[in-house]
Amino acid sequence: MPHFFHEQVGQRPPGVPQWFVLLSRYTQRWLPRVLRVGANQTMNTRTLALMLISLGFLLGAGTVRAGSPLLPGIRIAIVGNTFADQLRSHGYLETLLLQHWREEPVSIRNLGWAGDMLSARDRPTNFPTEESTLRDHQTDVIIACFGMGESFDGEAGIENFKSDLKAFIVSHRGKQYNGDSEVRLILVSPIAYEDLGELTPKVVERNRDLQRYTEAMQKVAAAEKVPFVNLYEPTRALMLDPDAIPLTTNGIHLNEYGYWVVSRILYEGFFEDEGAPRGQPWQLKVDAAAKKGEGVGLSLSGISSSHRELSFRVTEESSPSLPPPTQRELPASLNSRRDTVFVKNLQPGNYVLMVDGERVVSASHDEWANGVAVDSSPAHRDGEAFRNAVNDKNLQFIYSWKALNQVHIVGERRNSPSGRALPAEIVAFKELADQKDAALEGGIELKTREWRLIPDTN
């Protein structure tokens, strides 16, 4: 996996474990809080993680390369341009992050605004300040997505972009939106410009500019010791794949499939230092002849066979991957992001996978031996329902924060009868969003299910 996630804070001393050096910038703010934990207090995962970080600092590992600032139970805000704004509508990234820590899930508020740039972030009259919203959410980490709109200024605008980016970082420095510790930032680059023929002119020039702005963002991030995720490089590679499926509608705005792909890249970038992060796709390997098997994200038991039928119990240990929103065959480079089942030593013929009595997918014995993507099992249906619940929570938040009838809320009609009634409705929508956020805790229910491979007579 290429290194898409970077935070340059020096080199790790030889022999110092990686967990000693994570998030050293939190240490001075959290160590007093950790030491105050008494015998009658419950130490949650987040507090324990921060205590270990503090221990690493005391042992002399305070200025080495840090990992992801994302921790269990933290509160995240996403800000930025149309790319950030539409992350809210698709829910793929948020679902991945919620599934990463099922016991102590993160809480996310998306403050993205279509067309936003670092130096141009227009809002309606009397609209709540971003700082007030960040404080209201008790934000621990801000994920900032900029660079696409700015890149249209070409090479001549790069120095201004770097200055604006530094100013953005400085504007949040030292701020304690959560009331306890300094907010942390993650910078996210723009994606590449996709060649869609006549719809997207000047592809070479646009990608040259986008690459320059991505490199400028990375340099600022390194100088300011801010984590950085490079989306330009992996999306450019995907767009050049001969078997590529279009990621965008117009070269720069992702379609639903594009958000499915890029959300996974972004998620993996956040947790690059983990090596093999939680949230890996399921992988199941079964030997029909030996009646043995193993899984990633799944465990097997009770494998038996009779009359060319193979049955076993599968216990879900992690959430299933979200299915790609396309019926087209994916590029080979993306197949590893799908839940896959391998079954070798089946007798020749076609076999259908049944899960709890439901038909899921059919393939030949050779195809099962080489691996078959499983995207439509009952568990995957539950996963999609969970993503829809994420999207519904985000919709309620938008109704409370960015309602369409702003003129009645903060504008010139706020003193009209309808305007006077709206504040109570806004509060109700916020409460509803908070309730739906709480309902997402724990993710989908993980179950033990009956799986069977039987000859497909259809």
Give the DSSP per-residue string, 434-455. Answer: HHHHHHTTT-SPP-EEEEEEEE
Q: How confident is the model at residue 117, as a pLDDT?
A: 98
169, two tokens: 């970082």
Any idea what DSSP says for residue 319?
A: P
Residues 184, 43: Cα–Cα separation, whole Å: 22
Q: How confident is the model at residue 125, as a pLDDT?
A: 78
Q: Is 293 helix (H, G, I), strand (E, B) or coil?
A: strand
84, two tokens: 């950030």
22, two tokens: 């994570």
Beta strand extents in 308-455 (DSSP E only): 309-316, 340-344, 350-355, 358-364, 372-373, 448-455
Q: Is 22 helix (H, G, I), strand (E, B) or coil?
A: coil
- Say if CB 144 and CB 80 are below 8 A apart: yes
Class of domain 69-274: alpha beta
Cα atoms in the 13 Å half-sphere on the side-chain side of 371: 13
- Say if CB 352 and CB 456 are below 8 A apart: yes
Q: Give kind and range of the element (H or E) at residue 21.
A: helix 18-21
CA distances from 202 to 115, 191, 205, 251 (A): 21, 16, 5, 11
pLDDT digits 0-9 by tens, 402-455: 876 666 666 667 777 776 777 788 889 999 999 999 999 999 999 999 999 999
Domain ranges in the chain with CATH number 3.40.50.1110: 69-274
Q: How confident is the model at residue 336, as a pLDDT?
A: 87
Q: Is 379 helix (H, G, I), strand (E, B) or coil?
A: helix
pTM for this predicted structure: 0.84
User: Which residues of the chain carry a pLDDT beneath 50?
Assistant: 1-66
Residues 157, 150: Cα–Cα separation, whole Å: 8
CA distances from 103 to 49, 53, 74, 98, 120 (A): 14, 20, 12, 9, 39
Q: How confident is the model at residue 238, as a pLDDT?
A: 97
Residues 399, 299: Cα–Cα separation, whole Å: 42
Q: How confident is the model at residue 425, as a pLDDT?
A: 81
Using CB atoms within 10 Å of the CB of residue 227, give its burial: 0 to 12 exposed, 13 to 18 middle, 19+ buried: buried
Q: How confident is the model at residue 213, as a pLDDT?
A: 98
Residues 275, 12: Cα–Cα separation, whole Å: 16
Q: How confident is the model at residue 280, as a pLDDT?
A: 87
